Amino acid sequence: MKVVIVGGVAGGATAAARIRRLDEQAQVVVFERSGYISYANCGLPYYIGDVITDPEALTLQTPESFLARFQVDMRVYHEVMAIHPDKKTVSVKNLQTNEIFEETYDKLVLSPGAKPTQPRLPGVGLKKVFTLRTVEDTFRIKEYIRANRPRSAVLAGGGFIGLELAENLRELGIEVTIVQRPKQLMKPFDPDMAAFIHSEMRRHGVKLALGRTVEGFEERGGGVDVLLQDEAPLHADMVVLAIGVTPDTALAREAGLELGLKGSIVVNDRMETSVPDIYAVGDAVQVKHYVTGADAVISLAGPANKQGRIAADNICGGDSRYLGSQGSSVVKVFDMTAASTGVNETNAEMAGLAVDRVILSPMSHAGYYPGGRLMTMKVVFERETFRLLGAQIVGYEGVDKRIDVLSAAIHAGMKATQLKDLDLAYAPPYSSAKDPVNMAGFMVDNIAKGILDQWFLRDVPALPRDGSATLLDVRTSAEFAQGHMEGFQNIPVDELRGRLSELEPGKPVYVICQSGLRSYIACRILAGYGFKAYNFSGGFRFYDAVMNDYSLSQQATACGMDQ
Protein backbone atom coordinates (compact mmCIF):
# COMPACT_ATOMS: atom_id res chain seq x y z
CA MET A 1 0.00 0.00 0.00
CA LYS A 2 1.27 3.45 -0.98
CA VAL A 3 0.02 6.48 0.93
CA VAL A 4 0.70 10.03 -0.23
CA ILE A 5 0.18 12.82 2.29
CA VAL A 6 -0.13 16.47 1.27
CA GLY A 7 1.13 18.66 4.10
CA GLY A 8 3.55 17.69 6.81
CA VAL A 9 2.62 19.72 9.88
CA ALA A 10 0.19 18.60 12.64
CA GLY A 11 -2.35 16.38 10.88
CA GLY A 12 -0.11 15.14 8.08
CA ALA A 13 2.87 14.27 10.25
CA THR A 14 0.66 12.54 12.78
CA ALA A 15 -0.99 10.46 10.05
CA ALA A 16 2.39 9.47 8.62
CA ALA A 17 3.78 8.33 11.97
CA ARG A 18 0.58 6.45 12.87
CA ILE A 19 0.48 4.64 9.51
CA ARG A 20 4.01 3.43 10.07
CA ARG A 21 3.21 2.21 13.57
CA LEU A 22 0.29 0.21 12.18
CA ASP A 23 1.84 -1.01 8.93
CA GLU A 24 5.57 -1.55 8.65
CA GLN A 25 5.30 -2.41 4.96
CA ALA A 26 3.34 0.65 3.77
CA GLN A 27 5.12 3.13 1.53
CA VAL A 28 4.48 6.63 2.91
CA VAL A 29 5.43 9.80 1.03
CA VAL A 30 4.77 13.27 2.43
CA PHE A 31 4.96 16.42 0.30
CA GLU A 32 5.47 19.70 2.18
CA ARG A 33 5.82 22.92 0.22
CA SER A 34 7.66 24.77 3.01
CA GLY A 35 11.09 23.83 4.27
CA TYR A 36 9.82 22.54 7.60
CA ILE A 37 7.76 19.58 8.77
CA SER A 38 6.11 18.88 12.11
CA TYR A 39 6.77 22.36 13.45
CA ALA A 40 5.12 24.10 16.40
CA ASN A 41 2.77 26.72 14.93
CA CYS A 42 1.70 27.77 18.39
CA GLY A 43 5.25 28.58 19.39
CA LEU A 44 5.97 31.03 16.56
CA PRO A 45 5.04 34.27 18.40
CA TYR A 46 7.26 33.25 21.31
CA TYR A 47 10.28 32.95 19.03
CA ILE A 48 9.65 36.49 17.82
CA GLY A 49 9.55 37.67 21.45
CA ASP A 50 12.76 35.83 22.41
CA VAL A 51 10.94 33.53 24.85
CA ILE A 52 12.11 30.71 22.57
CA THR A 53 15.61 31.59 21.40
CA ASP A 54 16.68 28.47 19.49
CA PRO A 55 15.01 28.31 16.05
CA GLU A 56 15.59 24.56 15.94
CA ALA A 57 13.31 24.22 18.97
CA LEU A 58 10.36 25.13 16.73
CA THR A 59 10.88 22.00 14.63
CA LEU A 60 9.65 18.86 16.35
CA GLN A 61 10.98 16.59 13.61
CA THR A 62 13.18 16.99 10.53
CA PRO A 63 12.93 15.05 7.26
CA GLU A 64 16.05 13.18 8.30
CA SER A 65 14.76 12.27 11.78
CA PHE A 66 11.40 11.22 10.37
CA LEU A 67 13.12 8.96 7.85
CA ALA A 68 15.40 7.46 10.47
CA ARG A 69 12.64 6.68 12.95
CA PHE A 70 9.61 6.00 10.77
CA GLN A 71 11.00 5.28 7.30
CA VAL A 72 8.70 7.97 5.91
CA ASP A 73 9.82 9.79 2.77
CA MET A 74 9.44 13.45 3.78
CA ARG A 75 9.96 15.74 0.81
CA VAL A 76 10.13 19.41 1.75
CA TYR A 77 9.99 22.20 -0.85
CA HIS A 78 7.61 20.03 -2.86
CA GLU A 79 4.21 21.47 -3.74
CA VAL A 80 1.34 19.31 -4.96
CA MET A 81 -0.12 21.18 -7.91
CA ALA A 82 -3.08 18.92 -8.82
CA ILE A 83 -4.93 15.78 -7.80
CA HIS A 84 -6.12 13.29 -10.42
CA PRO A 85 -8.59 10.95 -8.66
CA ASP A 86 -9.37 9.07 -11.87
CA LYS A 87 -5.71 8.04 -12.25
CA LYS A 88 -4.95 8.07 -8.50
CA THR A 89 -1.97 10.36 -9.03
CA VAL A 90 -0.88 13.81 -7.90
CA SER A 91 1.18 16.31 -9.87
CA VAL A 92 4.08 17.61 -7.80
CA LYS A 93 6.50 20.49 -8.32
CA ASN A 94 9.97 20.45 -6.81
CA LEU A 95 10.26 24.10 -5.75
CA GLN A 96 14.05 23.97 -5.73
CA THR A 97 14.52 22.58 -9.25
CA ASN A 98 11.12 23.48 -10.80
CA GLU A 99 10.78 19.85 -11.95
CA ILE A 100 7.17 18.67 -12.23
CA PHE A 101 6.35 14.97 -11.92
CA GLU A 102 3.46 12.66 -11.12
CA GLU A 103 3.26 10.47 -8.03
CA THR A 104 0.87 7.53 -7.74
CA TYR A 105 -1.07 6.66 -4.61
CA ASP A 106 -3.38 4.00 -3.24
CA LYS A 107 -4.60 6.28 -0.45
CA LEU A 108 -4.29 10.06 -0.32
CA VAL A 109 -4.39 12.24 2.81
CA LEU A 110 -4.92 15.97 2.42
CA SER A 111 -3.54 18.07 5.27
CA PRO A 112 -3.04 21.44 3.56
CA GLY A 113 -3.96 23.44 6.65
CA ALA A 114 -5.20 26.99 6.46
CA LYS A 115 -3.67 30.19 5.18
CA PRO A 116 -3.84 33.64 6.75
CA THR A 117 -6.97 35.41 5.61
CA GLN A 118 -5.82 37.99 3.09
CA PRO A 119 -8.41 40.72 2.63
CA ARG A 120 -8.60 42.27 -0.81
CA LEU A 121 -7.41 45.64 0.37
CA PRO A 122 -4.98 48.14 -1.15
CA GLY A 123 -1.46 47.72 0.18
CA VAL A 124 -1.74 44.14 1.46
CA GLY A 125 1.43 43.22 -0.43
CA LEU A 126 3.63 45.95 1.08
CA LYS A 127 6.97 44.74 2.47
CA LYS A 128 6.15 46.04 5.95
CA VAL A 129 2.79 44.26 6.05
CA PHE A 130 3.35 40.71 7.34
CA THR A 131 1.37 37.55 8.05
CA LEU A 132 2.31 34.92 10.63
CA ARG A 133 1.53 31.29 9.86
CA THR A 134 4.72 29.43 8.94
CA VAL A 135 8.29 29.21 10.21
CA GLU A 136 9.37 31.26 7.19
CA ASP A 137 6.87 33.99 8.16
CA THR A 138 8.35 33.98 11.64
CA PHE A 139 11.90 34.38 10.40
CA ARG A 140 10.86 37.25 8.11
CA ILE A 141 9.26 39.14 10.99
CA LYS A 142 12.16 38.39 13.32
CA GLU A 143 14.73 39.55 10.76
CA TYR A 144 12.78 42.74 10.08
CA ILE A 145 12.71 43.54 13.80
CA ARG A 146 16.44 42.85 14.18
CA ALA A 147 17.38 44.92 11.17
CA ASN A 148 15.00 47.85 11.59
CA ARG A 149 14.24 48.01 15.32
CA PRO A 150 10.63 49.17 14.83
CA ARG A 151 9.12 51.24 17.61
CA SER A 152 5.48 50.57 16.77
CA ALA A 153 3.30 47.86 15.27
CA VAL A 154 -0.35 47.53 14.34
CA LEU A 155 -1.88 44.08 14.53
CA ALA A 156 -5.00 43.61 12.44
CA GLY A 157 -6.92 40.98 14.38
CA GLY A 158 -7.48 40.06 18.01
CA GLY A 159 -7.57 36.27 18.05
CA PHE A 160 -4.99 33.82 19.37
CA ILE A 161 -2.13 34.95 17.12
CA GLY A 162 -2.94 38.63 17.64
CA LEU A 163 -2.88 38.34 21.43
CA GLU A 164 0.24 36.20 21.60
CA LEU A 165 2.09 38.40 19.14
CA ALA A 166 1.00 41.57 20.97
CA GLU A 167 2.47 40.24 24.19
CA ASN A 168 5.75 39.24 22.58
CA LEU A 169 6.16 42.53 20.71
CA ARG A 170 5.49 44.45 23.94
CA GLU A 171 8.20 42.39 25.64
CA LEU A 172 10.57 43.69 22.96
CA GLY A 173 9.58 47.26 23.83
CA ILE A 174 7.45 47.84 20.73
CA GLU A 175 4.28 49.92 20.99
CA VAL A 176 1.35 47.77 19.90
CA THR A 177 -2.15 48.61 18.70
CA ILE A 178 -4.72 45.92 17.90
CA VAL A 179 -7.35 46.99 15.40
CA GLN A 180 -10.30 44.90 14.26
CA ARG A 181 -13.94 45.12 13.22
CA PRO A 182 -15.49 43.14 16.12
CA LYS A 183 -15.87 45.15 19.33
CA GLN A 184 -14.09 42.55 21.42
CA LEU A 185 -10.98 40.39 21.38
CA MET A 186 -11.16 36.59 21.36
CA LYS A 187 -14.52 35.57 19.89
CA PRO A 188 -14.65 32.25 21.81
CA PHE A 189 -15.42 34.42 24.85
CA ASP A 190 -18.61 36.31 25.58
CA PRO A 191 -18.21 40.11 25.59
CA ASP A 192 -18.49 40.26 29.40
CA MET A 193 -15.66 37.74 29.87
CA ALA A 194 -13.57 39.41 27.16
CA ALA A 195 -13.63 42.55 29.32
CA PHE A 196 -11.06 40.94 31.63
CA ILE A 197 -8.80 40.19 28.65
CA HIS A 198 -9.13 43.79 27.46
CA SER A 199 -8.15 45.05 30.91
CA GLU A 200 -5.01 42.92 31.00
CA MET A 201 -3.98 44.03 27.52
CA ARG A 202 -4.44 47.71 28.42
CA ARG A 203 -2.59 47.21 31.71
CA HIS A 204 0.46 46.17 29.68
CA GLY A 205 0.23 49.10 27.31
CA VAL A 206 -1.52 47.49 24.34
CA LYS A 207 -3.89 49.94 22.68
CA LEU A 208 -7.20 48.54 21.47
CA ALA A 209 -8.94 50.01 18.44
CA LEU A 210 -12.00 47.78 18.41
CA GLY A 211 -15.03 48.15 16.19
CA ARG A 212 -12.89 49.67 13.43
CA THR A 213 -12.88 48.60 9.80
CA VAL A 214 -9.51 48.47 8.02
CA GLU A 215 -9.75 49.72 4.42
CA GLY A 216 -6.15 49.42 3.29
CA PHE A 217 -2.48 50.20 3.86
CA GLU A 218 -0.19 52.91 2.50
CA GLU A 219 3.53 53.51 2.88
CA ARG A 220 4.32 56.85 4.50
CA GLY A 221 7.27 58.33 6.32
CA GLY A 222 9.23 55.10 6.42
CA GLY A 223 6.29 53.22 7.93
CA VAL A 224 2.75 52.13 7.12
CA ASP A 225 -0.57 53.94 7.45
CA VAL A 226 -3.44 51.63 8.37
CA LEU A 227 -6.44 53.21 6.67
CA LEU A 228 -9.64 53.07 8.70
CA GLN A 229 -13.22 53.62 7.62
CA ASP A 230 -14.45 57.09 8.64
CA GLU A 231 -11.44 57.69 10.91
CA ALA A 232 -7.91 59.00 10.76
CA PRO A 233 -5.33 56.32 9.83
CA LEU A 234 -3.11 54.59 12.35
CA HIS A 235 0.62 54.90 11.64
CA ALA A 236 3.16 52.22 12.56
CA ASP A 237 6.58 50.92 11.59
CA MET A 238 5.12 47.51 10.74
CA VAL A 239 1.78 45.75 10.38
CA VAL A 240 0.88 42.10 10.96
CA LEU A 241 -2.34 40.67 9.55
CA ALA A 242 -3.82 38.28 12.10
CA ILE A 243 -7.48 38.46 11.16
CA GLY A 244 -7.95 34.72 10.98
CA VAL A 245 -7.29 31.83 8.66
CA THR A 246 -9.03 30.40 5.62
CA PRO A 247 -8.98 26.68 4.69
CA ASP A 248 -6.37 26.16 1.97
CA THR A 249 -8.48 23.99 -0.31
CA ALA A 250 -7.79 25.06 -3.91
CA LEU A 251 -6.45 21.56 -4.67
CA ALA A 252 -9.57 19.91 -3.32
CA ARG A 253 -11.85 22.25 -5.24
CA GLU A 254 -10.07 21.63 -8.53
CA ALA A 255 -10.19 17.87 -7.94
CA GLY A 256 -13.96 17.99 -7.49
CA LEU A 257 -14.12 17.19 -3.77
CA GLU A 258 -17.23 18.38 -1.94
CA LEU A 259 -16.63 21.62 -0.05
CA GLY A 260 -18.47 23.18 2.87
CA LEU A 261 -18.19 26.17 5.21
CA LYS A 262 -15.58 28.74 4.18
CA GLY A 263 -14.56 26.42 1.33
CA SER A 264 -13.51 23.67 3.75
CA ILE A 265 -13.34 20.02 2.74
CA VAL A 266 -16.40 18.00 3.72
CA VAL A 267 -15.49 14.75 5.48
CA ASN A 268 -17.40 12.07 7.35
CA ASP A 269 -16.53 10.89 10.85
CA ARG A 270 -13.87 8.55 9.37
CA MET A 271 -12.19 11.62 7.81
CA GLU A 272 -13.11 10.36 4.31
CA THR A 273 -13.87 12.95 1.64
CA SER A 274 -16.52 12.67 -1.06
CA VAL A 275 -13.98 10.94 -3.35
CA PRO A 276 -12.98 7.32 -2.60
CA ASP A 277 -9.53 6.73 -1.09
CA ILE A 278 -9.00 10.43 -0.35
CA TYR A 279 -8.96 11.54 3.30
CA ALA A 280 -8.61 15.05 4.73
CA VAL A 281 -7.61 16.31 8.18
CA GLY A 282 -6.74 19.45 10.09
CA ASP A 283 -7.58 23.11 9.61
CA ALA A 284 -8.88 22.53 6.08
CA VAL A 285 -11.81 20.27 6.99
CA GLN A 286 -15.40 20.82 8.05
CA VAL A 287 -16.37 18.98 11.22
CA LYS A 288 -19.35 18.75 13.54
CA HIS A 289 -19.35 20.85 16.68
CA TYR A 290 -19.46 18.39 19.53
CA VAL A 291 -21.96 20.43 21.57
CA THR A 292 -24.36 21.82 18.99
CA GLY A 293 -23.95 19.23 16.22
CA ALA A 294 -23.69 22.07 13.70
CA ASP A 295 -21.14 22.14 10.90
CA ALA A 296 -18.01 24.01 11.96
CA VAL A 297 -14.46 24.86 10.97
CA ILE A 298 -12.23 24.81 14.05
CA SER A 299 -8.55 25.50 13.47
CA LEU A 300 -6.74 24.07 16.48
CA ALA A 301 -3.75 21.74 16.85
CA GLY A 302 -5.46 19.19 19.11
CA PRO A 303 -8.26 18.29 16.68
CA ALA A 304 -5.78 18.18 13.75
CA ASN A 305 -3.61 15.62 15.53
CA LYS A 306 -6.60 13.46 16.48
CA GLN A 307 -7.93 13.57 12.92
CA GLY A 308 -4.55 12.53 11.49
CA ARG A 309 -4.52 9.52 13.79
CA ILE A 310 -8.11 8.57 12.86
CA ALA A 311 -7.43 8.81 9.12
CA ALA A 312 -4.35 6.62 9.55
CA ASP A 313 -6.32 4.02 11.52
CA ASN A 314 -8.93 3.78 8.78
CA ILE A 315 -6.36 3.66 5.98
CA CYS A 316 -4.79 0.71 7.76
CA GLY A 317 -8.07 -1.21 8.00
CA GLY A 318 -9.41 0.07 11.29
CA ASP A 319 -12.66 1.83 12.11
CA SER A 320 -11.88 4.98 14.09
CA ARG A 321 -14.37 7.82 14.31
CA TYR A 322 -14.03 11.54 14.95
CA LEU A 323 -16.75 12.61 17.38
CA GLY A 324 -16.52 16.34 16.71
CA SER A 325 -14.67 19.41 17.96
CA GLN A 326 -15.40 21.24 21.21
CA GLY A 327 -13.07 24.13 20.53
CA SER A 328 -11.23 23.77 23.85
CA SER A 329 -8.48 26.37 23.97
CA VAL A 330 -6.22 28.32 26.28
CA VAL A 331 -4.14 31.43 25.69
CA LYS A 332 -1.53 33.31 27.72
CA VAL A 333 -2.38 37.01 28.04
CA PHE A 334 0.70 38.52 29.71
CA ASP A 335 0.36 37.47 33.38
CA MET A 336 -3.14 36.12 32.86
CA THR A 337 -4.56 32.92 31.40
CA ALA A 338 -7.82 32.77 29.44
CA ALA A 339 -9.46 29.48 28.47
CA SER A 340 -12.72 28.26 26.99
CA THR A 341 -14.47 25.09 25.92
CA GLY A 342 -17.75 24.21 24.26
CA VAL A 343 -20.01 27.07 23.23
CA ASN A 344 -20.29 30.46 24.88
CA GLU A 345 -23.59 32.07 25.83
CA THR A 346 -23.68 34.23 22.70
CA ASN A 347 -23.23 31.32 20.28
CA ALA A 348 -25.53 29.03 22.23
CA GLU A 349 -28.33 31.56 21.92
CA MET A 350 -27.57 32.02 18.21
CA ALA A 351 -27.88 28.25 17.85
CA GLY A 352 -31.39 28.48 19.29
CA LEU A 353 -30.60 26.93 22.65
CA ALA A 354 -32.39 28.08 25.80
CA VAL A 355 -29.42 28.85 28.03
CA ASP A 356 -28.68 29.79 31.59
CA ARG A 357 -25.35 30.48 33.26
CA VAL A 358 -23.55 30.95 36.53
CA ILE A 359 -20.68 33.37 37.07
CA LEU A 360 -18.35 33.01 40.02
CA SER A 361 -15.02 34.32 41.28
CA PRO A 362 -13.27 31.53 43.18
CA MET A 363 -9.70 31.48 44.43
CA SER A 364 -7.16 29.38 42.56
CA HIS A 365 -6.38 27.52 45.78
CA ALA A 366 -7.22 27.59 49.49
CA GLY A 367 -7.49 31.19 50.68
CA TYR A 368 -5.38 30.61 53.77
CA TYR A 369 -2.45 29.32 51.70
CA PRO A 370 -0.29 32.21 50.39
CA GLY A 371 -0.38 33.23 46.75
CA GLY A 372 -3.95 32.46 45.79
CA ARG A 373 -5.45 34.53 42.96
CA LEU A 374 -9.03 35.11 41.90
CA MET A 375 -10.33 33.65 38.68
CA THR A 376 -13.58 34.49 36.90
CA MET A 377 -15.62 31.52 35.70
CA LYS A 378 -18.68 31.45 33.49
CA VAL A 379 -20.42 28.12 33.04
CA VAL A 380 -23.17 27.87 30.41
CA PHE A 381 -25.87 25.20 30.47
CA GLU A 382 -29.23 24.38 28.90
CA ARG A 383 -32.07 25.81 30.97
CA GLU A 384 -34.51 22.91 31.07
CA THR A 385 -32.18 19.91 30.83
CA PHE A 386 -29.14 21.40 32.62
CA ARG A 387 -26.95 19.90 29.90
CA LEU A 388 -23.48 21.39 30.18
CA LEU A 389 -22.77 23.51 27.07
CA GLY A 390 -19.58 25.45 27.67
CA ALA A 391 -17.33 27.35 30.01
CA GLN A 392 -14.96 30.31 30.03
CA ILE A 393 -12.35 31.10 32.67
CA VAL A 394 -10.04 34.09 32.99
CA GLY A 395 -7.50 34.22 35.79
CA TYR A 396 -4.01 33.12 36.72
CA GLU A 397 -2.83 29.77 38.06
CA GLY A 398 -5.22 26.83 37.86
CA VAL A 399 -7.27 28.12 34.93
CA ASP A 400 -6.02 25.45 32.55
CA LYS A 401 -6.78 22.52 34.81
CA ARG A 402 -10.33 23.74 35.54
CA ILE A 403 -11.13 24.22 31.86
CA ASP A 404 -9.83 20.72 31.16
CA VAL A 405 -12.11 19.26 33.84
CA LEU A 406 -15.06 21.12 32.34
CA SER A 407 -14.07 20.02 28.83
CA ALA A 408 -14.00 16.40 29.94
CA ALA A 409 -17.37 16.84 31.65
CA ILE A 410 -18.91 18.20 28.43
CA HIS A 411 -17.41 15.34 26.42
CA ALA A 412 -18.84 12.85 28.90
CA GLY A 413 -22.32 14.35 28.48
CA MET A 414 -22.57 15.42 32.10
CA LYS A 415 -25.21 17.80 33.35
CA ALA A 416 -24.04 21.00 34.98
CA THR A 417 -25.65 19.85 38.21
CA GLN A 418 -23.31 16.84 38.28
CA LEU A 419 -20.22 19.04 38.56
CA LYS A 420 -20.87 19.10 42.28
CA ASP A 421 -20.24 15.35 42.42
CA LEU A 422 -16.78 15.31 40.82
CA ASP A 423 -14.08 14.00 43.14
CA LEU A 424 -11.22 16.40 42.42
CA ALA A 425 -7.75 16.48 43.94
CA TYR A 426 -7.23 18.86 46.85
CA ALA A 427 -4.28 20.20 48.77
CA PRO A 428 -4.00 23.83 49.93
CA PRO A 429 -1.31 24.86 47.39
CA TYR A 430 -3.44 23.58 44.49
CA SER A 431 -7.13 23.91 45.22
CA SER A 432 -9.82 24.16 47.88
CA ALA A 433 -11.82 21.39 49.48
CA LYS A 434 -14.68 22.72 47.37
CA ASP A 435 -12.96 23.12 44.01
CA PRO A 436 -14.13 25.97 41.73
CA VAL A 437 -15.65 23.35 39.39
CA ASN A 438 -17.57 21.87 42.31
CA MET A 439 -18.68 25.37 43.32
CA ALA A 440 -20.14 25.95 39.86
CA GLY A 441 -22.01 22.65 40.25
CA PHE A 442 -23.36 23.67 43.66
CA MET A 443 -24.69 26.89 42.17
CA VAL A 444 -26.40 25.14 39.25
CA ASP A 445 -27.82 22.55 41.63
CA ASN A 446 -29.31 25.35 43.72
CA ILE A 447 -30.93 26.76 40.59
CA ALA A 448 -32.33 23.34 39.70
CA LYS A 449 -33.80 22.97 43.20
CA GLY A 450 -35.31 26.46 43.23
CA ILE A 451 -32.96 27.62 45.98
CA LEU A 452 -31.19 30.24 43.83
CA ASP A 453 -32.78 32.85 41.57
CA GLN A 454 -30.42 35.12 39.63
CA TRP A 455 -30.37 38.45 37.88
CA PHE A 456 -27.72 39.47 35.38
CA LEU A 457 -25.80 42.34 33.88
CA ARG A 458 -28.23 42.54 30.98
CA ASP A 459 -31.04 43.15 33.51
CA VAL A 460 -29.47 46.30 34.98
CA PRO A 461 -31.13 48.81 32.62
CA ALA A 462 -34.56 47.34 33.36
CA LEU A 463 -34.21 47.17 37.16
CA PRO A 464 -37.41 48.41 38.84
CA ARG A 465 -36.21 51.74 40.22
CA ASP A 466 -39.71 53.11 40.77
CA GLY A 467 -39.97 51.83 44.32
CA SER A 468 -41.71 48.60 43.38
CA ALA A 469 -38.62 46.59 44.39
CA THR A 470 -35.77 46.83 46.88
CA LEU A 471 -32.24 47.19 45.51
CA LEU A 472 -29.83 45.92 48.15
CA ASP A 473 -26.02 45.87 48.38
CA VAL A 474 -24.85 43.62 51.23
CA ARG A 475 -21.13 44.45 51.17
CA THR A 476 -19.47 46.33 54.01
CA SER A 477 -20.01 50.06 54.24
CA ALA A 478 -16.35 50.61 53.26
CA GLU A 479 -16.76 48.52 50.10
CA PHE A 480 -20.02 50.29 49.28
CA ALA A 481 -18.35 53.70 49.65
CA GLN A 482 -15.68 52.74 47.11
CA GLY A 483 -18.26 52.15 44.40
CA HIS A 484 -21.76 50.80 43.96
CA MET A 485 -24.68 50.58 41.55
CA GLU A 486 -26.89 53.61 41.44
CA GLY A 487 -30.06 53.36 43.54
CA PHE A 488 -28.89 50.57 45.86
CA GLN A 489 -29.12 50.81 49.62
CA ASN A 490 -26.44 49.25 51.77
CA ILE A 491 -27.06 46.77 54.54
CA PRO A 492 -24.04 44.51 55.24
CA VAL A 493 -25.01 40.84 55.22
CA ASP A 494 -23.94 40.36 58.85
CA GLU A 495 -26.38 43.09 59.92
CA LEU A 496 -29.25 41.97 57.69
CA ARG A 497 -31.28 39.96 60.21
CA GLY A 498 -31.31 42.88 62.64
CA ARG A 499 -32.33 45.41 59.99
CA LEU A 500 -35.10 43.56 58.14
CA SER A 501 -37.51 46.27 59.28
CA GLU A 502 -35.80 48.61 56.78
CA LEU A 503 -37.11 46.45 53.93
CA GLU A 504 -40.71 46.71 52.80
CA PRO A 505 -42.48 43.33 52.94
CA GLY A 506 -43.95 42.05 49.71
CA LYS A 507 -41.44 43.75 47.44
CA PRO A 508 -38.89 41.63 45.52
CA VAL A 509 -35.29 42.24 46.54
CA TYR A 510 -32.42 42.45 44.03
CA VAL A 511 -29.23 41.69 45.93
CA ILE A 512 -25.56 42.23 45.07
CA CYS A 513 -22.23 41.78 46.84
CA GLN A 514 -18.60 41.71 45.69
CA SER A 515 -18.49 38.18 44.24
CA GLY A 516 -21.97 36.71 44.61
CA LEU A 517 -21.36 34.64 47.76
CA ARG A 518 -22.49 37.06 50.48
CA SER A 519 -25.45 38.12 48.36
CA TYR A 520 -26.46 34.45 48.03
CA ILE A 521 -26.34 34.12 51.81
CA ALA A 522 -28.42 37.29 52.06
CA CYS A 523 -30.96 35.83 49.62
CA ARG A 524 -31.34 32.75 51.78
CA ILE A 525 -31.83 34.90 54.88
CA LEU A 526 -34.45 36.97 53.07
CA ALA A 527 -36.20 33.85 51.77
CA GLY A 528 -36.42 32.60 55.34
CA TYR A 529 -38.40 35.71 56.23
CA GLY A 530 -40.76 35.55 53.28
CA PHE A 531 -38.99 37.83 50.81
CA LYS A 532 -38.54 36.95 47.13
CA ALA A 533 -34.84 37.63 46.53
CA TYR A 534 -32.65 37.54 43.41
CA ASN A 535 -28.86 37.23 43.46
CA PHE A 536 -26.66 39.15 41.01
CA SER A 537 -24.56 36.65 39.08
CA GLY A 538 -20.88 37.57 39.22
CA GLY A 539 -21.05 40.25 41.89
CA PHE A 540 -19.98 43.88 41.84
CA ARG A 541 -16.43 42.90 40.88
CA PHE A 542 -17.75 41.42 37.64
CA TYR A 543 -20.11 44.34 37.03
CA ASP A 544 -17.35 46.90 37.61
CA ALA A 545 -14.90 45.16 35.26
CA VAL A 546 -17.40 44.93 32.42
CA MET A 547 -18.71 48.49 32.84
CA ASN A 548 -15.18 49.90 33.06
CA ASP A 549 -14.30 48.12 29.80
CA TYR A 550 -17.46 49.49 28.18
CA SER A 551 -16.62 53.00 29.39
CA LEU A 552 -13.06 52.83 28.02
CA SER A 553 -14.35 51.51 24.70
CA GLN A 554 -16.83 54.38 24.48
CA GLN A 555 -14.09 56.90 25.24
CA ALA A 556 -11.89 55.30 22.60
CA THR A 557 -14.68 55.59 20.04
CA ALA A 558 -15.21 59.24 20.93
CA CYS A 559 -11.54 60.21 20.62
CA GLY A 560 -10.61 57.76 17.86
CA MET A 561 -8.19 55.66 19.92
CA ASP A 562 -8.12 53.47 23.01
CA GLN A 563 -6.92 54.91 26.27
Helix (H) or strand (E) holding 21: helix 10-22
SS3 345: helix
Residue 90 main-chain phi, psi, to 5 deg: -125, 145
Distance CA 500, CA 529 (A): 9
Distance CA 152, CA 478 (A): 43
pTM for the model:
0.93
Distance CA 545, CA 193 (A): 9
Strand pairing class (207-210; 175-180): parallel
Strand pairing class (295-296; 285-288): antiparallel
Q: What is the pLDDT of residue 192?
A: 96
Distance CA 524, CA 528 (A): 6
Q: Is residue 559 annotated as a catalytic residue, yes or no?
A: no
Distance CA 261, CA 282 (A): 14
CA dihedral (48, 54, 59, 61) in degrees, to 10, reads 180
For residue 439, how many other CB atoms are within 10 A of its CB?
Answer: 20
Q: What is the pLDDT of residue 115?
A: 82
Q: What is the pLDDT along the chain (563 residues), one digit of tens a residue?
A: 999 999 988 899 999 999 999 999 999 999 999 887 766 677 888 989 989 888 777 766 778 888 888 889 999 999 999 999 999 999 999 999 999 999 999 999 999 988 877 778 888 889 999 988 888 889 999 999 999 999 999 999 999 999 999 999 999 999 999 999 999 999 999 999 999 999 999 999 999 999 999 999 999 989 999 999 999 999 999 999 988 788 999 999 999 999 999 999 999 999 999 999 999 999 999 999 999 999 999 988 889 999 999 999 999 999 999 999 999 999 999 999 999 999 999 999 999 999 999 999 999 999 889 999 999 999 999 999 999 999 999 999 999 999 999 999 999 999 999 999 999 999 999 999 999 999 999 999 999 999 999 999 999 999 999 999 999 999 999 999 999 999 999 999 999 999 999 999 999 999 999 999 999 999 999 999 999 999 999 999 999 999 999 888 777 666 555 54
Is residue 467 within 8 Å of 461, Cβ to Cβ?
Answer: no
Please say whether the dihedral angle defined by the alpha carbons of residues 391, 394, 398 and 400, taken in this order, is positive or negative: positive
Q: What is the pLDDT of residue 119?
A: 78
Which residues are registered as beta bridge partners of 227? 216
Distance CA 409, CA 440 (A): 13
Three-state DSSP string of 159-223: CHHHHHHHHHHHHCCCEEEEEECCCCCCCCCCHHHHHHHHHHHHHCCCEEEECCCEEEEEEECCE
Residues 6+ apart with CB under 8 A from 146: none
Q: What is the pLDDT of residue 284?
A: 94
